[in-house]
Amino acid sequence: MKGKLIGLAITFAILGAIAWGAMRFVRVTAAPGASAAEVPTTSVKQGKVIISVAARGELQGGNSEMLSAPMTGNDQLAITSLRDPGELVEPGDVVVQFDTTTQEYNLREAEADLAEADQQVIQAQANADASVEETAYAVKAAESAVTLAKLDVRRNPLLPSIQARQNDIALEQAQNRLKQAQQDVANKSANAQAGTAIQQANLNKAKVTAETAKRNIESMTLKAKTAGYVNIQNNTFTNIIYTGMQLQPFQLGDTVRPGLTVAQIPDMKQWEVSAQIGELDRGHLNAGQKVAISVVALPGKTFDGHVKSMGGTAGSPWDRHFEARISLDKPAPELRPGETSNMLITVETLDNVLWVPSQALFDTDGRKFVYVKTPKGFMPRDVTLVRSSESQAVITGLKDGDEVAMSNPDQQNKPATQNGGAMKALQK
């Protein structure tokens, strides 16, 4: 019994110590100025500032030969043969081969239709010739009947009036039949020509269909026109694409939408780096500006280049960027497409200037200011921005050594005040 009492006493003592420590912690965290001490700060510095733009991009061949899925009328094409990424090819080598089963079937059907149309043209021509011969014979027969009727009419003065009248009527009928036969010749000739023309049009249509099928089969074999290393593109033929999704390169057996680029063969004599650069640095760049390029796969080597072009700005409001293409002045044989490259563009050098990290400079409605640390806490102070980059901001309006906040102190204080109020409520 005595042992149990001693154990309970020790337990209560431990719980009391824990409670006292918690209360002490609450008082310290709720004390005025505690949150202010948590605000990260930096000092205003004076000296040389090099305004530069750094970016990372992907090495590409300039004026690359693009190999795209042909427009064959199919919704999708299956890859049956594909070169390995980075494989060296020569002009005329097959890089991508698509399944031609459907097009071969279409070609056989087109060739069968072509043979049938050819026979129909022959038949139509034969029928036209027969019809013309038949009408020509009818005209000859009508002409002979008219000649005989005229001979009978010449005997009319020697014949009774009734018989003479019958001869006149017979001549008139023969002449009418001749006129009708001659009209039939023109009509049947035009009809025969029209029938032949229709069959000839069907024949031409069948020829075009067969030739199209042949061209489709030929276009489904993508060959290299220039020598270079094969760069397989990412497969974007998917129903769902979301931000941050990792797209895989095309592989054997994948299906491709017509017009989609499957591979490219970069021009080995003209290398470029494509990089996405933040909108804030656009004002620092100009076409022709010198660039220092280092390839991650080739440590210790630096290549000279220049800004070739800058694209339009795109992206979400909180991540605006544009594409910049950098040309290498003197490429090296060991370069390969797709290699990650780091670029450094030196814009200008400023001597004896005041600067702070870019995250210490705030902007509200065009007003530039920093939070300077004073005995009364952090106070906002307006400054003039001279130049800025992604990491540094050159300013005026402060002194060397002034301590400024790296984040908004007001935002730091809000959660601390709320936490302190909660702790005080718990203490009560």
What the block records as the tokens of 250 is: 């095309």
Which residue type does 264 have?
Q
Classify each residue of 348-387 as buried b or exposed e, where b means 16 or more C-beta atoms within 10 Å of its C-beta: eebeebbbbeeebbbeeeeebbbbbbeeeebebeebeeeb
Any domain includes 11? no
Any domain includes 160? yes
Is the distance from CB of 79 to CB of 254 less than 8 angstroms? yes
Transcribe 344-356 into DSSP letters.
EEEEEEEEEEEEE
Number of structural domains found in the chain? 1
Distance CA 64, CA 267 (A): 5
Q: How would you classify residue 153: left for phi > 0, otherwise alpha for psi between -120 and 50, otherwise beta?
A: alpha
Any domain includes 49? no
Q: How many CA atoms lie within 13 A of 421 on its CB side?
A: 6
Tell me the residue range of the domain where 139 lies.
101-219
Q: Could you read off the pLDDT of 308-347 as tens digits, one per residue?
A: 888 888 888 888 888 888 888 888 878 877 788 998 888 8
Distance CA 341, CA 273 (A): 7
Nearest residue to 77 (alpha-carbon basis) of 227, 261, 241, 231 = 261
CB-based burial label for 406 (10 Å; 0-12, 13-18, 19+): middle
Beta-strand ranges (E) seen in 178-248 are: 221-223, 228-229, 231-232
Classify each residue of 105-130 as buried b or exposed e, where b means 16 or more C-beta atoms within 10 Å of its C-beta: ebbeebbebbeebbebbeebbeebee
Is the distance from CB of 356 to CB of 41 less than 8 angstroms? no
Classify each residue of 153-189 as buried b or exposed e, where b means 16 or more C-beta atoms within 10 Å of its C-beta: beebeeeeeeebeebeebbeebbebbeebeebbeebe
Tally the residues of the chain.
Answer: 428
Any domain includes 326? no
Any domain includes 154? yes
3-state secondary structure 33-58: CHHHHCCCEEECEEEEEEEEEEEEEE
Any domain includes 245? no
Classify each residue of 51-77 as buried b or exposed e, where b means 16 or more C-beta atoms within 10 Å of its C-beta: bbbebebebbbbebbebbbbebebeeb
Check residue 96 and give its pLDDT: 93
Any domain includes 215? yes
**Residue given tokens 């100025």 in the structure block:** 33
Show Cβ contacts of residue 204 under 8 Å, excluding neighbours closer than 6 positions. none
Orientation of helix 409-427 relative to helix 2-30, angle to 10°: 150
Any domain includes 155? yes
Distance CA 233, CA 251 (A): 10
**Residue given tokens 């705030």 in the structure block:** 362
What the block records as the tokens of 292 is: 């220092």
Distance CA 377, CA 356 (A): 19
Nearest residue to 281 (alpha-carbon basis) of 55, 110, 71 = 55
What the block records as the tokens of 361 is: 């400079």
| Low-confidence residues of the chain: pLDDT under 50 | 26, 28-36, 416-428
Check residue 33 and give its pLDDT: 45
Q: Domain holding 176: CATH number?
A: 1.10.287.620
Show Cβ contacts of residue 177 under 8 Å, excluding neighbours closer than 6 positions. 142, 145
Q: Is 303 helix (H, G, I), strand (E, B) or coil?
A: strand
